[in-house]
Amino acid sequence: MSRLQQLVSIDDALKVYNNFTNLPNARFVDHILTLPCILYDVLVVKLRQMYMDHHIYDVHAAGLRPVQIITQEKLKEATDPTRLPYILIRPWDRKLVNYSEKDRAIAGYKILMQLEQPFMAFMLLRLPEGEYKRICSSRVIVVRTLANGPASIVNSKIATLDIV
């Protein structure tokens, strides 16, 4: 934790704690999953190769290390993020917050430590009505934050999305 305390201010640790403790629980109503999560905008999708009926894509997302995604789905390729309808998300898990910790800054640093670990991401397609659809779900997508992880986590986009 001392490494994080050197990289992240107490104010930023408190910001992380407050941002994540105020998120609602996930819920499923009328075939729509409402999911609090961390958003990572997909910046680049490039087909690396095809193998039988599988496409292997190199995917770059803001705040994450590049990842290869293998899918049977054909994805829209682009290097201009404004033309890509995709995001990667990290579903929020309330178990990452230690509510018994009396010092909220220490609890914020502990959340940051957890969020620096590799995680299973979902790839979503933006739909016209502000909803999202999960794609590339036949295989697990494991991603890592960038080497400057704490800084990118502190400034993460956090939202509650409706997934159909």
Tens-digit pLDDT profile for residues 50-103: 988 899 999 999 999 999 999 999 999 988 878 899 999 999 988 888 778 889
152: amino acid identity, one letter: S
Cβ neighbours, 10 Å, residue 162: 14
Q: Residue 8: how many CA atoms within 13 Å on its side-chain side?
A: 30
Q: Which two tokens stand for residue 80?
A: 């201009």
Predicted local confidence at residue 153, as pLDDT: 81
The C-alpha atoms of residue 158 and residue 155 are separated, in whole angstroms, by 9
* φ and ψ at residue 28, rounded to 5 degrees: -125, 115
Residue 21 and residue 41: Cα distance in Å, rounded?
23
Residue 46 has pLDDT above 80, yes or no: yes
* Relative orientation angle of helices 10-21 and 104-115, to the nearest 10 degrees: 80
Q: Which pTM value belongs to this model?
A: 0.90
146 within 8 A of 20, measured Cβ to Cβ: no
List all residues 6 or more positions away from 75 whose beta carbon is below 8 Å from its beta carbon: 45, 47, 55, 57, 69, 86, 135, 136
Question: Are residues 134 and 163 in contact, defined by beta-carbon separation less than 8 angstroms?
Answer: yes
User: Which residue has 């178990």 as its token pair?
Assistant: 95
C-alpha to C-alpha distance for 75 and 98, rounded to whole angstroms: 39
Please state the φ and ψ torsions of residue 133, each to the nearest 5 degrees: -130, 135
pLDDT at 34 over 80: yes
